Structure formats: structure tokens, C-alpha cells
Structure 1
Amino acid sequence: MATKKKSEVIAEEEVKAEAPVEEAPKKAKKAKKEEKAPEKPAKPQPTEARATSMNVRCTPRKARLVLDLVRGKDVKVALGILANVNKAASEPVSKTIKSAAANAINNFGMDENSLYISEIYATDGMRIKRFIPRAKGSASGLVKRCCHITVVVKMR
């Protein structure tokens, strides 16, 4: 009888060893986490693109004279106007407009022909301080101003 008991015990151990280990509770926890997570709404398509030129060596007041000419115009029309303006600020302004248009086309897939300038402004940048020699060994201050030009384009 002792041999039968040993063989029964050995058989029971083999059955236990062959039984698969249960990992279901771990998977169930992951499934519960996935079910609890709410679906995120799709991000809305951006309607505008912007570009900023920092510390342009032109005073903000002189840059605003050029910016007022192209505010609210189509991008292609604005670039045509700036090509014929005899102002030093027209070149950095046109570069900034081209950059904003490129951002709109490449990053957001907007149509090139329907872009217009919705916002364009110049703000104060850094100031470079210099001195001018004056009479009797004195000196006067000279401030060379810079500006930041920001352009925002949208689709019509």
C-alpha cells in the first residue's frame, strides 16, 4: 500500500507541474486600465501659422511704416508690394512673411493661394548702446534700436 500511495503522490505532483501558471489577473488589470481611459477628442486643425524675426536692425517705428502697407492683404500681393517699396525694413518684413507662409503650407497643409496676413506687428527688441564723442572730452549716448517682427497668416 505504501508503494501505491507514493505513486499516487508522484502522479498528483506531475499533474500540478503540468498545469499552466495563471497570469490572467495581470492582463485583466491592463484591460481595465484601457477601458477606463476616455477617448481623447481629435485635435482641431490649426487655422493660423506664425513666424517671428527677432532683433531686426531696424527701429520699430520705421518698421511699422512698412507693416501698415501690407496688413490684411494676400501673401502674394503683399510680397509684390514689398518688392517695390524703397525702405530698409521691407526686406526683413518680406522674409518673415515668406517664413510664415512656408510654415502654413509645410506644417499645417494650408492652401498657398488662399493665405492672407491676419496680424502683423513690430515690437521693441534689444537696444545697443554706443557713445558719440563731444566737445571738451565729453560724450553723448546713442541708442541703436532693434525690433521683433511677427506675422500671422490665415486661410480665407
Structure 2
Amino acid sequence: MEARAYLKYARISPRKVQIVLDLIRNKPVDVAMAILKHTPKAASESLEKLLKSAMANAENNHNMDVSKLYVSQCFVSPGPILKRIRPRAQGRAFQILKRTSHVTMVLKEQE
């Protein structure tokens, strides 16, 4: 049995999210929550909310024991890219790519 939670269209680069996800993969949820609380990265706050959501899904929808849960899978994929224009010298224009992310988190119970 597994519980999933998704974060779609997060306005943060997938590369930045991946660094934080690598820290919590295969960890118990209480340890993962502590890591996210004390990691000074931009993605930590939204991933903390996502972990709480996955824990609530596990408890309410699948009747799983929260104390036995661990992060079995977590991954990020790129979402749509917002393209913006930045004016530069001599009438030129540079393109700025504002990247978005889709994050998936899967929790399972330890046997």
C-alpha cells in the first residue's frame, strides 16, 4: 500500500528541487520532516507542505500508521517554461526562462 501526493506547477527550477529531494529519499517521515525544517533551501518550504499532504493522504485515505511511514519515492520533472524578455543594450532583447516543476512524493509503510 502506498500514498501519493503531487505538487504541480511549482515556480522553482527542477534542479533546485532535486537537491533537497535527494536528502529525504528513503528516510522515515519524522526524519524527513526534520531535514526539511532545517534545510536553508528555497524548495524546503513547499516540499514540507507536500510531505504533510502525503502523510494526511496515507492516514485518512489508506488507513496507514503514520509512525511506520517512510519516503519510498520522490522525484521531480520539469513543467512548462515561462518565457520572458529582458531588454539589453543597443535595442537587443535577451530571453529569460522561468522554469516550473512537477514534484511527486510516494510514502509506504515499513514492514
TM range (shorter): over 0.9
How many angstroms apart in 1 are the aligned matches of 2:93 and 2:12?
24
Higher strand share: 2
Which consecutive segments of 4 or more residues in structure 1 shift more than 2 A?
none
Provide the residue aligned with 1:108 in structure 2: 62
How many angstroms apart in 1 are the aligned matches of 2:91 and 2:74?
45
Instruction: Give, as a single letter, the amino acid of the residue that structure 1 aligns with 2:20.
Output: V
Q: Greater relative contact order (Cα 8 A, min sep 6): structure 1 or 2?
A: 2
TM-score, reference length from structure 2? 0.97
Provide the residue aligned with 1:122 in structure 2: 76
Provide the residue aligned with 1:67 in structure 2: 21
How many angstroms apart in 2 are the aligned matches of 1:129 and 1:149?
21
Count matched residues.
Answer: 110
Q: Identity, % of aligned pairs? A: 47
In the TM superposition, 1:90-105 aligns within 5 A as 90-105=44-59
Whichever of the two has the greater Rg, that structure is 1
TM-score, reference length from structure 1? 0.70
The Cα of 1:146 is off from its aligned counterpart by 0.6
RMSD (Å), alpha carbons:
0.6
